[in-house]
Amino acid sequence: MNKAVVIGSGLGGLECGILLSKAGYRVTILEKNALPGGCIAGYWRDGAYYDTGFHYAGSIGAGQTLDLLFKGLGLENLPWQFLEGEEVEADGRRFYLPFGLDAYAAALSEEFPHCRAELRAYTDFLREVVQMPLVHFGEGRAMELFSRSSREYLESAISDPLLRKVLCGAATRLPYAPELPLYSFAQINGSFIQGAARLHGGGETLVKALISAFDAAGGTLVCNAGVRALEAGNGRVSRAVLADGSTIEADIFISDIHPALTNALLAPETLRPAYRKRLASLRQTGGYTGYSLRFRPGSLICPKRNFFLAPANGTVWDGGISAGLFFSAPKEGEYATTADILVPGNRPEEAQRWISAFNAVLPGLADSAEGLIVSTPHTWERYLGLPEGSAYGIAKDFTHPLSTVISPRTPLENLFLTGQNLNLHGVLGVSMTALYTCAEILGQEHIKKQFGI
């Protein structure tokens, strides 16, 4: 039986572990922390559960992309709480945007009747992208759209500047920058607008389901098992050296940690200098400050929508500051237990400013809160080793798609990459990338057959 080692138990690492285990590999996942899950793992504090990197997922309705991917992984019957939509405040006006591409276009057409045809064309384009078949990594229509500017597309497709601001209002979904590729913009926004949901029990529920599926397939998860080196020769990795000095050999190695950190595990002469230099030079997306609120029991009904504040000055493309408010779906009942306000940058001192801003959108928010925990990009950098606390991994650039969209393959024959740094971020993007990684190992036909694609 072939052996595989996966470094890191984030979403991508766990999904790759499930896929390889189902294909007959003897898989061991090595996790440096005491608890698995990476960015999707939440935590408990003073009897309350807090989500971290996972708040809600898109394209999870019946037959939609993430739904199909999760079912292929054995993640069925998860307790999803489907959301009704989202609210965006822009230029002093508040807009309610229902989920469902047709409903979304219809609601905005009422607010912007002069843009009705543009909105129909816009949502038709999003539908085209989210319904694209899952094809080989780096090929086809998706790669063509990686080479186009999302900003230029939006400014040519939508004539009203306020409408453009509303369409980008849910800015925490994406690392908005002038270089953002059109594929990233359309796939991520389209998937959430298509249909979004939270999980009762939050990221902890998803991590437990993934581990259960991995266990059922015969995999082994080892925590407190950081990898300090990968030994390689003749173009292949032979074994992983753990922090305690022990080693583990395998036929296949998959790294679910940042590519630059993966390279650091290898002796300098193992990889071509040009490959090392290219990955080391890539720009990271920014991180977020999180203001995590705990509510008094029974004080605030948990809304089935998210709330966003568009930039008061400028736009998302030129550094305007936006923010989002996300509730964790309670394990039971209708009352909110915790919620997160996410604001880009390192802003630990601005908690009251943003709590007050969202209290104006959702009255009672501030009075219901009885606890506050603040995290910054440095928190994420220390806990998960994310360079600069990057929220979305390596920044993609439509002017350099071939260098910023990273292949799962490395120069070493049996070392592969996975995770949000390669293709797309988020639950959907990482799950798609796990398929691309495993297709390089198992073959496309194996993956297509398992997932019916």
| 418 and 272 housed in the same domain | yes
Query: What is the per-residue pLDDT across 48-93, written as a single tens digit (0 to 9) for each?
Result: 999 988 999 999 999 999 999 999 999 988 999 999 999 999 999 9
Q: What is the mean pLDDT of the chain?
A: 93
Question: Do 147 and 251 fall into the same domain?
Answer: no
Tokens 């936006």 sit on residue: 322
- 53 in any annotated domain: no
The range of the structural domain enclosing residue 123 comes to: 80-199+285-383
Is 213 domain-assigned? Answer: yes
- Look up the CATH number of the domain holding residue 372: 3.90.660
Tens of pLDDT along 257-314? 999 899 999 998 899 988 988 888 899 999 999 999 999 999 999 999 999 999 988 8
The encoded tokens of residue 67 equal 């739904």
* Segment 153-194, tens digit of pLDDT: 999 999 999 999 999 999 899 999 999 999 999 999 999 999
Mark whether 311 and 227 lie in a shared domain.
no
What per-residue confidence (pLDDT) applies to 333? 87
Mean pLDDT of 312-333: 90
Side-chain-facing half-sphere of 301: CA atoms under 13 Å: 4
Both 195 and 316 in a single domain?
A: yes
For the cut 90, the answer to whether the pLDDT of residue 108 exceeds it is yes
**Residue 291 and residue 270 in one domain:** no
Instruction: Report, as an integer, the average pLDDT of 225-232.
Output: 96
CATH number for the domain that contains residue 31: 3.50.50.60
Q: Exposure pattern of 264-303 as b/e (b: 16+ CB <10 Å)?
A: ebbeeebbeeeebeebeebebbbbbbbbbbbbeeeebebb
Asked whether residue 160 falls in the same domain as residue 273, the answer is no
Residue 15 within any structural domain of the chain: yes
Residue 52 included in any domain: no
Please tell me the total count of domains within the chain: 2
Dihedral sign computed on CA atoms, order 403, 408, 412, 413: negative
Tokens 């992983």 map to which residue?
240
Q: Residue 159: inside a domain, yes or no? A: yes
The domain boundary residue, chosen from 383, 417, 438: 383
Whether residue 230 is contained in a domain is answered as: yes
pLDDT at 388: 87
Q: Which residues contact 336 (CB under 8 A, 6 or more apart)?
A: 295, 300, 301, 302, 303, 327, 328, 330, 368
Residue 364: which residues within 8 A CB-CB, separation 6 or more? 299, 300
